Amino acid sequence: MTDSLLDRNIVIALAGTAFESLPGSVVYADREPRGPGPVDVGDLTVVAEHATLLAFRDEMPGANWMHPCTYAGVDVVTHLVVARVTSDRPPAFGTLPPTWVVVSDPDGLADLVRQP
């Protein structure tokens, strides 16, 4: 992990602008911002003016992939959602890298990050 990681509370607030908490879903976000410059949000590449938070909502946690999910990129400076993209695959198969955190998990279904 690096000094460039975003504070967990900031990540939760930014990801909350992209995704509401929905029963049966889990929202994850990466504390390591992307950009500025080209940023992959799911299978879409956007050119970000500022650092961008990548958030990911698993819409069928616990199910085998390929199933519905959504990615969002949130500008760290303006707090605006720069892209939202539907997909059918996670950022990584298996456990996500340790910079990823659970943002919203109303039903306790998170299974893509190691819990502390």
CA distances from 32 to 68, 71, 87, 99, 115 (A): 24, 15, 21, 6, 18
Supply 18's token pair: 């992209």
Q: Considering only the top CATH level, what class is 8-104?
A: alpha beta
Structure token digits, residue 39: 């940023």
| Per-domain residue ranges of the chain | 8-104
Local mean pLDDT, 10-residue blocks, the chain (116 residues): 81 95 94 95 94 96 89 97 95 90 95 81
What pLDDT is recorded for position 116? 63
Paired strand residues for 70: 57, 86
Burial of 55 (0-12, 13-18, 19+ CB in 10 A): buried
Query: So what's the pLDDT on residue 75?
Result: 97
